[in-house]
Structure 1
Amino acid sequence: MIVTAHSRNTPQPRSHRRARKRSSRLLPAAVASLAVLAGCLAVGMATDAEGDSSGPDPGNEVGAAGDDVPGRSESSVPRSGSGTFTTAEGDGGKVGRGRLLRYKVEVEKGIGLSAPKVAAEVGAILADKRGWTGDGQWAFRRVSGGTPDFVVRVATPDTVDKICGGAGLDTGGEVNCRAGVDVVVNLKRWLLATRYYDKDVPGYRALIINHEVGHFLGHGHESCPGGGEPAPVMMQQIKGLKGCKPNVWPFTRNGRPITGPPTQ
Structure 2
Amino acid sequence: MFPKKGPSVPAATEPRSTPTRGRRRAKPQRRRNRLGMGVALVGSLAVLGAAAVALGTSEGTPGGGKPSLQARAVPSEAADQGTESPAPASPSGTPQPSGTPQTTPPQTAPTGTFTVAAANGPAVGTGNIRRYRVEVEGGIGIDPQAAATEVQAVLADKRGWTADRRNGFQLVSDGTYDFTVKIASPATTDRICATKGLDTKGEVNCDVDDQVMVNSKRWLTGSPEFSGPIEEYRALIINHEVGHRIQHNHEGCPGPGKLAPAMMQQIYGLKGCKPNAWPYTAEGKYISGPPAP
Query: Following the alignment from structure 1 to structure 2, what is the Cα–Cα distance between the partners of residues 132 and 199?
Result: 21
Match of 2:167 among 138, 156, 172: 138
Q: Residue in 2 aligned with 1:203?
A: 232
Note if contact 1:42-1:196 (Cα within 8 Å) is conserved in structure 2. Answer: no
Distance 1:198 1:241, change over 3 A: closer
Corresponding residue of 1:101: 130
Q: Does 1:188 align with 2:217?
A: yes
- TM-superposed CA distance for 1:196, in Å, is 2.9
CA distance in 2 between counterparts of 1:81 and 1:263 reads: 35
Contact 1:107–1:154, Cα closer than 8 Å, also in 2: yes
Q: Which residue in the other structure is 1:235 paired with?
A: 264
RMSD (CA atoms): 2.0
Structure 1 residue matching 2:134: 3-state secondary structure: strand
Structure 1 stretch displaced more, 82-91 or 171-180: 82-91
Contact 1:164 1:170 in 2 (8 A): yes
Q: Counterparts in 2 of 1:71-86, with a 5 A limit?
A: 72-74=103-105, 76-78=106-108, 81-86=110-115
Q: Tell me, what secondary structure is at the counterpart of 2:163?
A: coil
CA distance in 2 between partners of 1:234 and 1:122 (Å): 17
- The letter of the residue matching 1:187 is S
Code of the residue aligned with 2:222 in structure 1: it is A
Partner of 2:176: 147
User: Pick from 111, 117, 120: which aligns with 2:140?
Assistant: 111
Q: Which amino acid aligns with 2:3?
A: V
* Structure-1 residue corresponding to 2:155: 126
Gaps in structure 1 of 5+ consecutive residues: 7-37, 50-70
Q: Hey, what does 1:219 align to over in structure 2? A: 248
Shift of 1:43: 3.1
Greater CA radius of gyration, 1 or 2?
Answer: 2
Q: Secondary structure at the match of 1:4?
A: coil
CA distance in 2, matches of 1:42, 1:77: 25
| Residue type at the aligned position of 2:285 | R
- How far residue 109 of structure 1 moved from its aligned partner, in angstroms, is 1.1
Q: 2:99 aligns with which of 40, 43, 54?
A: 43
Q: CA deviation at 1:146?
A: 2.2
Partner in structure 2 of residue 3 of structure 1: 3
Amino acid of the structure 1 residue aligned with 2:263: M
- Give the match for residue 260 of structure 1: 289
The number of residues matched between the two structures is: 206
Query: Do the aligned residues in 1 keep the contact of 2:119 with 2:148 (CA within 8 Å)?
Result: no
User: Which stretch shows the higher mean deviation, 184-193 or 91-100?
Assistant: 91-100
Structure 2 stretches lacking a partner, 5+ long: 7-94
Q: Which residue of structure 1 lines up, in the alignment, with residue 277 of structure 2?
A: 248
1:80-136 CA distance string (max 9 Å, x none): 621110001132111112210000000001211111100000000000000000121
Residue 177 of structure 1 pairs with residue 206 of structure 2: yes
For the 8 Å contact 1:192–1:198, the answer to whether it is kept is no
The normalised TM-score by structure 1 is: 0.73
Instruction: Look up the SS of the partner of 1:105 in the other structure.
Output: strand
Distance 1:150 1:5 in 2: 16
With over 3 angstroms needed to count, the CA separation of the structure-2 counterparts of 1:221 and 1:131, relative to structure 1, is same
Aligned to 1:64: none
TM-score when scaled to structure 2? 0.66
**In the aligned structure 1, how far is the partner of 2:228 from the partner of 2:275?**
12
Shift of 1:147: 2.8
Change (3 A) 1:77 1:225: farther
